[in-house]
Amino acid sequence: MSEENDTILEANSLYHVYDSKAEDGNVVALRGLHVKVRPGEAVAVVGPSGSGKSTLLKCLGGLMKPSAGKVSLQGENMTRLTGKELVLLRQKTISFIFQEGNLLPHLSALDNVAQPLRHQKVSPKDAKKQAMDLLTELGMGHRAKGLPATLSGGEQQRVAIARALITQPRLILADEPTGALDPITSREVLSLFKDLHEKKGVAFLIVTHSAEVAAFCDRSLELRDGRFVAQHGTDLEVDDLSESRELIVDDIGTVVFPPEILIEMGGAGRYEVGDVGDGRLTLISTDLGASMLDGGTTLALSCPACNHEYEDDEIQLCPDCGSSRPMV
């Protein structure tokens, strides 16, 4: 068992297909992803709406079984575990934080936070005491008796974080945790994450559209259409993903060029492979070019999803709905 020492979460060749009876058929949401998260590491997943971020998070956290591929948590192959074993492994290792809807509506803030401990056979009295201490630490002690519906969005998210932390997880999977919060509250949430990351060595995998959240992470993986297309360092500009980017080539040799790089190269078409070696590859466009293939070479003027009119020439993601800007 060496794997768990340097890896808390690992996924190989992860595929997910949603079956659909609709005319447009099945949706392939994940197309062969590899991910590795080391203990204490914070990794962001960025990418346009519909690129597969939530699907990935659910598959990684064992909330959904991927159509194919393997997910290991602390060296244990989750895809092989029985339902009960999976729940136990998850409970002692991972916590989830979603954009909203993290709390049970009929339980008070205190009981919401104490509840995960009950599953771990902590006595009700001890569970309540620990929950109260944690809520107090997060500045929510005075609202411990409130039901979720009576709390503000930011307060609810702080209670959700307390609920996520009460079991002392080694890994937090978060899907747009600050997405529903105002800038001040999201900064508070982020500073809580920073404390946990720096002082307690908790690992994070966070789906986000926020540049601040991405900057908190050690690296960001860029997902497009179910594939990782690039990895970025801490200086990621969410609005300008072309900065400081490394392209990712997967195990079967597929490399997906983000649209703006494709444009700079001269668009879709035929390329002759020039020099290969020493980690270098040269592609030389041949004259047969893009006209032979589908897809255009200029960015669309308006967003096909929400009709936002792009004013900026280079922006890649729709500022209104987050869709990736297609080429026409």
Ligand X SMILES: Nc1ncnc2c1ncn2[C@@H]1O[C@H](COP(=O)(O)OP(=O)(O)OP(=O)(O)O)[C@@H](O)[C@H]1O
Which residues of the shown chain bind ligand X in the complex (CB under 6 A)?
Answer: 18, 20, 27, 29, 47, 49-55, 322
Nearer to ligand X, 29 or 196 (CB): 29
Contact 177, 99 (CB under 8 A): yes
Q: How far is the CB of 169 from ligand X (least distance, A)?
A: 22
Q: Which does 51 bind (CB under 5 to 8 A by kind): Mg ion, ligand X, none?
A: ligand X
Q: Could you tell which of ligand X, Mg ion, none binds residue 52, using a CB distance below 5 to 8 A set by kind?
A: ligand X
**Tokens at residue 106, please?**
């009929």
Distance CA 185, CA 74 (A): 32
Q: Which stretch binds Mg ion (CB under 5 A): 5-13, 48-56, 99-107, 286-294?
A: 48-56
Scan residues 308-327 and list those touching Mg ion (CB under 5 A): none
In the complex, minimum distance from the CB of residue 61 to ligand X, in angstroms, rounded to a whole number: 13
The minimum distance between CB 127 and ligand X, in angstroms, equals 33
By the 8 A CB rule, do 89 and 72 touch?
no
> Which does residue 32 bind out of ligand X, Mg ion, none, counting CB within 5 to 8 angstroms by kind?
none
| CA atoms of 11 and 36, how far apart (whole Å) | 7
In the complex, what is the shortest distance from the CB of residue 157 to ligand X, in angstroms, rounded to a whole number? Answer: 17
Q: Which does 208 bind (CB under 5 to 8 A by kind): Mg ion, ligand X, none?
A: none
Out of ligand X, Mg ion, none, what residue 49 binds, judged by CB under 5 to 8 A for its kind, is ligand X
* Residues 144 and 173 sit within 8 Å (Cβ to Cβ): no
CB of 170 within 8 A of CB of 5? no
Nearer to ligand X, 24 or 251 (CB): 24
Bridge partner residues of 12 (DSSP): 70
How far apart are the C-alpha atoms of 177 and 163, rounded to whole Å?
13
Q: Which one of ligand X, Mg ion, none interacts with residue 18, CB within 5 to 8 A by kind?
A: ligand X
Q: Which does 8 bind (CB under 5 to 8 A by kind): ligand X, Mg ion, none?
A: none
Long-range contacts of 181-188 (CB under 8 A, 24+ apart): 181/153, 181/154, 181/157, 182/153, 182/154, 185/153, 185/154, 185/157, 186/210, 186/212, 186/213, 187/212, 188/154, 188/158
Is the Cβ of residue 47 or residue 62 nearer to ligand X in the bound state?
A: 47
| 27 versus 89: smaller Cβ distance to ligand X | 27
Alpha-carbon gap, residue 66 to 280, rounded angstroms: 34
Q: How far is the CB of 181 from Mg ion (least distance, A)?
A: 16
CB of 99 to ligand X, least distance (A): 8
CB-nearer residue toward ligand X: 24 or 287: 24
The span from the CA of 306 to the CA of 318, in Å, is 9
Tokens of 198: 């720096």
54 touches Mg ion by CB under 5 A:
yes
Span from 52-60, 105-113, 261-269, 279-287 in contact with Mg ion (CB under 5 A): 52-60
Q: Which does 224 bind (CB under 5 to 8 A by kind): ligand X, Mg ion, none?
A: none
**Number of residue whose CB is nearest Mg ion:** 54
**Least Cβ distance, residue 53 to Mg ion (angstroms):** 5
Render the burial of 149-187: b for 16+ CB within 10 Å, e for the rest. eebeebbbbbbbbbbbbbbebbbbbbbbbbbbbeeebbe
Distance CA 297, CA 213 (A): 32
Closest by Cα among 124, 147, 128 to 136: 128
Site residues for Mg ion per CB under 5 A: 54
